Structure 1
Amino acid sequence: MIHVNSGSWQRLRMLVENLDTSATGSDASGNMTIHDTSQNAYNFFIRDAAPSADLLTFKSIDYSTFDPNWDSASVSNKVRVRSFLDEDLAEASGVTHGSQSTLDPAERVPDDKRFSIEASISQALNNDVANKISDIFFISNAIGAPEMQYSLRYPDLDRLADKYFNRLEDKVDFKNYFDFFKWFDTNFSGMIEQMIPTTTEFLGVNFVIESHML
């Protein structure tokens, strides 16, 4: 991004990402092309380099991104321990000390027996947007700032949306995605319903239409 008063208005001018990791060097003629993945298509053309030479090197960087479904309750650990033989561990975990073989019939079980397979057109966009945001605190500040309590819009999110969608080369292809969903629903929904337990309420394969996070 350009953050100086040069008439650019902080517009994304170029985004050079060598997505083809196998193309790291010049060809036999000493030429190489590095593509600009923004809408402007200002590609880099390297000429008269050493033939068949390695011009780029890759560095592996490990990083993590926050879950775009951060506002949806989810639990990855489905095992609930009811008792421990170790007294200190049982007290710290809030469970029974000793051996327990029966459960209280009046205990409320929070399990949801509904099961559905949902295809969301915005899921891929949300995952990519989350990959561009450094941490969840940006969303927290953009939405939860005190001055935003009575605001009709969120300016920080509007600016992020402008910068993000400016890097896309074309519109999202909804038709191919929906065609794949129809094919999957027709061929696999009956098979999945036969595989799940009878105590599970199968809600089918659903195409979810929802807004993306921006």
Structure 2
Amino acid sequence: MNDQKFALILGASGGIGKATALRLGKEGWSLYLHYHQNEEAVIEIINALKDEQIECIPLQCDLLEEEAIEKIVHSIFSIDSLIYTSGTSSYGLLQDISQTEIKNQMKLHLEQPILLTQRLLPKLLQRKGSIVYVSSIWGETGASFETVYSAAKGGQIAFMKALAKEVGPSGVTVNCVAPGVVNTTMMGSFSEDERQSMVEEIPLGRFCHPHEVAGSVSFLLSKDAKYITGHVLSINGGWHM
């Protein structure tokens, strides 16, 4: 029996996606690596895993485009796990956010994960696979100045819980990880004073590292987590409980 495992990582070029790809690759997973513009990051992943002889298949597309889901689905031959890490936050007062940005946030964080999962479910059901969505602490608690992002991530969590009940009898697990502040390039828009102010609110006194989120994703895909489904694994240093 072929025990080769395939994982599709949406947003593999981002900080969390890249760390997850490297972690899973070193664990022997074959990888579909989705990216939008940052091809260099995906090449770095492939080069880093070259000695491991890991099969890496790059998939380029803009998830905001209508044909994105079809393009991805038609590139997938076998899949055991779907990891959705794609997304960007939208920061500002609600009345200042454009309708286009609201629609883009909902599409990127909610509509496209739902549609992609729907299309890939037959393959995941066949393999009794696993799904992990990288949500956010704000999907659990909400955040001022990130109202639309919070709503989209909250919807992602609600969808995960409902889907877990639906596919559980077929042996597929569905979970979310909900990081707090992760030390990635997305934090570059904040000043040093703003960053320090956030650190002071976190009981563990620091930001999360991408590899810590990757470790949590790895656990939820492992045999040790086959009895965990419909769960939100919070990774926030005790910031919100």
The TM-score, its normalising length taken from structure 2, stands at 0.22
Q: Which has the higher helix share?
A: 2
- Is the radius of gyration larger for structure 1 or structure 2? 1
The TM-score, its normalising length taken from structure 1, stands at 0.24
